[in-house]
């Protein structure tokens, strides 16, 4: 991975304020990792940052639009993300972009949370 989890944990432990920093494109580290399908890094941020969705509320949408399934799954495993989806009435099903019907079918079967959201629609 371009973002080794051990490196991410060490940097975030020493410099947690970096999670709030934006690059010249306006992206936070969570936004960038989401687009790059860096699931381990996304998970590390979600586990270590007190409320990552406040500083990067659309990071998960960027992962969906990029078709970054492992990053999307990392978000789905986060209880904060599940609560966020319930509150915002928005889910990965509204944004996911995949290259084939088979990929969509696989995604829909990939997680209990997705299955629940699919059945709510």
Q: What is the DSSP letter of 45?
A: H
**Predicted model pTM:** 0.76
Structural domains counted in the chain: 1
Q: Is 63 exposed, middle or buried (0-12, 13-18, 19+ CB in 10 A)?
A: buried
Q: Is 38 exposed, middle or buried (0-12, 13-18, 19+ CB in 10 A)?
A: buried
- pLDDT tens figures, 52-110: 888 888 999 999 888 888 888 889 888 888 888 888 888 888 888 888 888 888 888 87
Q: Is 28 exposed, middle or buried (0-12, 13-18, 19+ CB in 10 A)?
A: buried
Is the confidence at residue 111, as pLDDT, over 60? yes
Q: Is 119 exposed, middle or buried (0-12, 13-18, 19+ CB in 10 A)?
A: exposed
Q: What is the DSSP letter of 16?
A: G
Range of the domain at 98: 5-120
Cα separations in angstroms, 40 against 4, 5, 24:
7, 6, 24
């Amino acid at each position: 991975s371009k973002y080794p989890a051990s490196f991410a944990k060490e940097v975030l432990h020493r410099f947690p304020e970096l999670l709030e920093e934006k690059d010249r494109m306006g992206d936070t580290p969570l936004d960038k990792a989401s687009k790059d399908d860096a699931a381990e890094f996304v998970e590390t941020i979600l586990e270590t940052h007190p409320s990552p969705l406040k500083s990067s509320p659309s990071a998960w949408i960027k992962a969906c639009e990029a078709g970054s399934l492992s990053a999307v799954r990392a978000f789905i495993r986060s209880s904060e993300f599940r609560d966020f989806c319930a509150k915002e009435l928005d889910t990965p099903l509204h944004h996911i972009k995949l290259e084939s019907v088979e990929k969509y079918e696989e995604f829909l079967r990939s997680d209990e949370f997705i299955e629940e959201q699919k059945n709510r629609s």
